[in-house]
Amino acid sequence: MSRARSAANNEGLGGTGTCSDAAADRDGPPEYARLIAHPLRWRLLRELVHSDRAVWELTERLDKPQNLISYHLRQLRDGGLVTARRSAADGRDAYYAIDLASCEQQSWAAGAALHPALGAAAAELTSPGPRGPASRRVLFLCTGNSARSQIAEALVTRMTGGVVEAASAGSHPKPLHPNAVRVMRTRGIDISGNRTKHLDEFTSQRFDAVITLCDRVREVCPEFPSHPALAHWSMPDPAQADPTDQASYPAFEHTVEELETRIRFLVPLLTERSTSDETRRSSHVEH
């Protein structure tokens, strides 16, 4: 019997159950609570909060067999807490990402299942803006600096009111994509005057975090003397979604929506106060 199958049997998952089991399930904790209560699944979620990761990375970081990691990732995917997509750099790899918006909604629902007021209370605790006055710097990287990283830079500036200073660059800069300009204009943000930059312009600058948005640029991300926290968000290039600008525009809308969600959860990590910068870098963005 495989280790993953044995783990499933030990946890009582995947069985047919009985009528009394079904009744107990109705009175038991929500599936979300059961999923996150497992120590390994909790550790996987904590890892994915910091960065999208491939299975082999999670296997190394958690020091667990690959089949066991894959089994629990599948449980998290089935529960809507984790997503996966094939790497654009190496199709043999898949990057796993935590779906923080789903986690947020399910955590509220779990609270409400215990007491109706808990769901509302959880929603009220979500701050719409950054916490603390200290300035932070974040750099977004992709290949062309023509869409994803430019959009992320502009969203951080808008969403934090300048509390977090954002920059963007690419490993092979190319002209700003017209759909990037167009999709940001629908949100009242004009990036038409932005220039695209090579990442070499920023390697000597200090950043609190450097986030790669492209699987290919992750492979060539340079060392930064300031030792920023490093994270990877595996996002497809919207310009590659369709052959024409008109046809690819919905992919740009999806890119903005995903970045808005990711940045909403990133900002509290960047702006959270701690006793030292080193503690913040090692604990809040990347282990």
Residues known to be catalytic: 142, 214, 221
Question: Number of C-alpha atoms within 13 angstroms, CB side, residue 111?
Answer: 15
Q: Give the separation between CA 226 and CA 62, rounded to whole angstroms.
A: 27
Kindly list the distances between the CA atom of residue 231 and the CA atoms of 37, 109, 139, 165, 172, in Å, as whole numbers in the listed order: 25, 29, 10, 17, 20
Question: Number of C-alpha atoms within 13 angstroms, CB side, residue 265?
Answer: 18
Closest CA to 64 of 47, 83, 82: 47
Eight-class DSSP state of 223: P
Q: Give the separation between CA 122 and CA 105, rounded to whole angstroms.
A: 10
Q: Are strands 94-98 and 53-54 parallel, antiparallel or unpaired?
A: antiparallel
E runs forming strands in 122-260: 136-142, 164-170, 209-212, 229-232
Chain position carrying tokens 């092979």: 172
Q: Are strands 94-98 and 82-86 parallel, antiparallel or unpaired?
A: antiparallel
Closest CA to 241 of 254, 230, 226, 229: 254
Chain position carrying tokens 């999709």: 183
